[in-house]
Amino acid sequence: MKNIIYASLLMVGAINAQTSFKNFGNIQMHSEAEVGFHTDMINDGQFENNQGFTGFYSDSGARVISGNNRAVFNNVEIDAIDDLQLETSVGVTNELEFVNGKVLTPRDNVNVSLDFINHDFYVGEDDFRHTDGYASVLGSEEFTFPIGDDDRFRPMIVPNQNSETYFNGAYFFEDPNSPTTFNTDFDTENKQIFLENISNLEFWDLDGNTETTVTLTWDADSDIESISEDLSRLTVVGWNKGQNRWFDLGGNDISGNSTSGRLTSSTFVPDDFDIITIGSVVPKGDLGDDVNILMSPNDDSTNDALVFEGLEQFKRNTLTIFNRWGNSVLEVESYNNDWVGISEGRATVNKNEKLPAGTYFYVLNFGNEQLDRKLTGWVYISR
């Protein structure tokens, strides 16, 4: 534990060594200040524009920070054997060191978090020293969230951003089919057709309204072989809020082995998804029966276009549609779920005309190494 010199500060508050330090005024620490809290802190005033060093210490029992307002500190040390519990958010603008204990935040309240402002630096994180709950970041540089659940440190990483961006996140070592702090279940069987398995052991919550990629990690407790024995088929998946099912978010830069590794998603907007985790895509040739689709392009906003859910993750796809005589009526690269039954094939005589009602055959190539096979089926146009 660091030797602390209590700096002379202008305080409007109350200190009681046996209970807690309470601020209900305006406190500011100068650049040479060093303050150690060996008691709980209640912040109902202004305690934000701080420099210097702040430590939170406890040899027994949890150290608690509460109050109506967020306190923001410069350099922070946490040496609390039985953890530092946040009932209100705490911000860090420079460096943080995990010496002993975790930072606990309420998992049922995303608005209470350990906030890293302008990214900056932390050290000491491991299975026994991390944020058990929500941590946030505000900045533009790559950031690794120091998050975990109980004695499991399971970071996730967001890359460099084009501008100052806010993200908030937590890790949950629990079954998404029966989460403890969400108002809904995330059925791992309710998924896009080309997703095979989805983890039923863990998930992450990532919040933010800026498009980004995310890197997830796994360890021996993830039982990654139950998701896929072939690591190349791993992918990041997310529970889509609008459609209430699991979507493929892409699997890139996959590295590691069955007991330790990481993978990175394609770009997505975190706020479009309740939670994210690790899944796998079906292997070549394992889609089963042909997938048949009904179209009724009559501008009633129901089945007007030929739509393959999740196709936005496969930009290099190619789609060909044939009539009953084997002539192509549509040949397109990077199909965008927007075909409404118009003849566009090279062998078509009357292009740009509505095709008659009937049955057509389609071949969809995903154009992705993970999905190195075709999706085929019949599309029936009803007019």
pLDDT digits (tens, 9 = 90+) for 261-320: 999 998 999 999 999 999 998 765 444 445 678 888 887 778 889 988 778 777 788 999
CB 141 within 8 A of CB 117: no
pLDDT digits (tens, 9 = 90+) for 47-102: 999 999 999 999 988 999 999 999 999 999 999 999 999 999 999 999 999 999 99
Residue 16 is predicted with a pLDDT of: 42
* Amino acid identity at 231: L
| Residue 347 scores a pLDDT above 60 | no
CB 203 within 8 A of CB 129: no
| Residue 371 scores a pLDDT above 70 | no
CB 321 within 8 A of CB 362: yes
Residue 365 is predicted with a pLDDT of: 85
Residue 369 is predicted with a pLDDT of: 56
Average pLDDT of every residue of the chain:
88
Q: What average pLDDT score do residues 222-232 get? A: 95
Residue 287 is predicted with a pLDDT of: 47
Residues 124, 100: Cα–Cα separation, whole Å: 9
Most confident of 3-12, 82-91, 364-373: 82-91
Q: Could you tell me the pLDDT band of residue 141, with boundaries at 50, 70 and 90?
A: very high
DSSP one-letter code for 290: P
Phi, psi (rounded to 5 degrees) for 245: -155, 165
Residue 332 CB-density burial (10 A; 0-12 exposed, 13-18 middle, 19+ buried): middle
Give the global pTM. Answer: 0.78
More confident residue, 167 or 195: 167
Residues 148, 71: Cα–Cα separation, whole Å: 23
More confident residue, 314 or 174: 174
State how far the alpha carbon of 257 is from the alpha carbons of 45, 68, 219, in Å. Answer: 50, 46, 9
Mean pLDDT lowest for which of 167-181, 229-243, 290-304? 290-304
Proportion of the chain in helix, strand, coil states, percent, rounded to 5: 5, 45, 50
Residue 349 is predicted with a pLDDT of: 47
Q: Could you tell me the pLDDT band of residue 149, with boundaries at 50, 70 and 90?
A: very high
Residue 55 CB-density burial (10 A; 0-12 exposed, 13-18 middle, 19+ buried): buried
